[in-house]
Amino acid sequence: MSNKDKCMQLLNDVPEYKLGYVLAYLQGLLADETADDAFCEQLYHEYLNDTNPEKHDTIPLQSLADELGISLRAIRLLSRSEHKSSSASSQDHNRSACYGQSANFPKGM
């Protein structure tokens, strides 16, 4: 059963007088998403309009971490301890998506 199906099933058990709270909460979730999307869209347009010729230069993730004084090993260990309850396939996907060594980031980030 999907999360949406579970929510719909639970919603059927919510008393009518509490549905206003549920509605307000759901609207709040969507409002945050809309604001996040607008912010990301603004950043994207700022990037497109940036005339800095070095904006396409990238550096490896490890170099960025070193520049910022961040230990990727510590982050990986923390991530593993927080995700122990997740399935193994989910953990592998999250690690490769978030901490892939081939990731490159804009210089000066």
> Is this prediction's pTM over 0.85?
no
Give the tokens for residue 91.
């953990």
The residue type at 58: T
Q: How far apart are CA 56 and CA 68, in angstroms?
A: 20
d(Cα 6, Cα 27) in Å, to the nearest integer?
19
- 71-96 pLDDT, tens digit per residue, is 988 888 888 877 665 555 444 444 44
Delimit the domains of the chain by residue range.
1-50, 54-109
Contact yes or no for 72/61 (Cβ under 8 A): yes
Q: Where are the alpha helices (DSSP H) in 15-69?
A: 19-49, 61-68
Per-residue confidence (pLDDT) for residue 86, from 0 to 100 = 57
pLDDT of residue 94: 46
Q: Kindly tell me if the per-residue pLDDT of 100 is higher than 60.
A: no
